[in-house]
Structure 1
Amino acid sequence: MFLEGTSNPYLYWYRQLPGGQIHMLAYSVSIGQVDNTGPSHFSTSRTKDKEFLLNINGLLANDTGVYYCAWSHTLRQVCAAPGQKLPLLPIHWPVCPSLVV
């Protein structure tokens, strides 16, 4: 993903399953700081301000979906009931999918 007019964006990777559900796979608050929340064979790296790479090691049949990279100026999270973790929600979605598997 290439970004213009912003610096130090929060970056996210999401996957939309064939049934329509969207799950966050990873997010990054800055260069070198990433949190992977997806399957263990997914990894991410961020070595540049506006570059957030998603690597899938050993693609599986259940990895099928539409993958989106998104960004925001701030980190936002929906309030959840105690013990329930909801995905972080970005503000800016891409017009097109980043990758379809």
Structure 2
Amino acid sequence: MQQEKRNAREAAKKAKEKERAKKAAQRAAQKSARDAEKALQLSQRCKRKASQPSAQSRKRPKRVVDATDVGEALEGASAAPSKSTRSGRDVKLPDRFK
């Protein structure tokens, strides 16, 4: 009778050990999958977006016109009569159309 109890206890013990081993293997697999996922997330998190050049640097600076050039341009423009629209706004034609 004691021998039977001992055998039953040993069988139960072996079954528990097998279950523990299965669970441990399962946990290890889940952990490795989680770690791999985290490693991917970390590498993505550390990346930063490429800096883009500012819009102002692309703009060309406006050309500075000398005061003498402005005076000469006004004298030449006053010689020709200015055209106006029906509403009364003066029409300025570019030099290439004159």
TM-score tier, shorter chain, comes to under 0.3
Q: Structure 2 length normalisation: TM-score?
A: 0.20
Q: Structure 1 length normalisation: TM-score?
A: 0.20
More strand by share: 1
More helix by share: 2
The higher radius of gyration belongs to 2
- Give the number of the structure with larger relative contact order, counting CA–CA contacts within 8 Å between residues 6 or more apart: 1
